Amino acid sequence: MDEAAAAEIPEQQRVFLDKEHPAAWRALNGLGLKAKEAAAEAGLDGTLIELLNVRISQINGCAFCLDLHVGDAVKNGESAQRLAVLPAWRDTNLFTEKERAALTLAEAVTNISDAHAREREGARARKHLTAEEFSAVSWLVITMNAFNRVSIVSQHPVRRTRE
């Protein structure tokens, strides 16, 4: 649903999944924190974590999560240039081999329906990621996809910020 269509639905008619079932939301948040912890233990930095969150949210079209995680990426030191070209990351030399492997894996796990592509991309990612990094990236992607779906189904609004 595009922003204009979402705006037509009065907020009181929206079902915010996080508000209706806060225990489930807390559990998802807990999983997200554990995934971030695993990523940190695997040596993945906050910039890469947010880069993955942004890319996954781009693929899923989650405006709320994009708004949140682009801001977090900038706070973690990500550049405007890299964020701008992120949808076309394969066509640039702005990303390290490890970042490229993580982005490859993130896209394969997010677009999970193509088993052959997922296996091929997973094998490509394994050339540059340890088993611990591969697992940590996978958990980050799985949880971010869940957060995207909660926000999309709930139609969480993106609020204008003061500039």
For 26-65, the pLDDT digits (tens) are: 999 999 999 999 999 999 999 999 999 999 999 999 999 9
Give the ranges where the chain is alpha helix by DSSP (H): 3-8, 17-20, 22-41, 46-60, 63-75, 80-85, 97-110, 115-126, 131-154
Residue 13 has a pLDDT of 83
CA distance 87 to 26: 31
Share above pLDDT 90 across residues of the chain, in percent, rounded to a whole number: 87
In CATH, what class is 16-154? Answer: mainly alpha
- Residue 28: its pLDDT value, please? 98
Hey, how many other C-beta atoms are within 10 angstroms of the C-beta on 12?
5
- pLDDT for 22 equals 97
Q: Residue 4: which pLDDT band, with cuts at 50, 70 and 90?
A: low
Local confidence band at 18 (pLDDT 50, 70, 90 cut-offs): very high
Pick the residue with more confidence: 17 or 2? 17
Q: Please, are residues 104 and 133 in contact by the beta-carbon 8 Å criterion?
A: no
Q: What pLDDT, on the 0 to 100 scale, is given for residue 8? A: 63
pLDDT at res. 10: 72
- 67 vs 9, more confident: 67
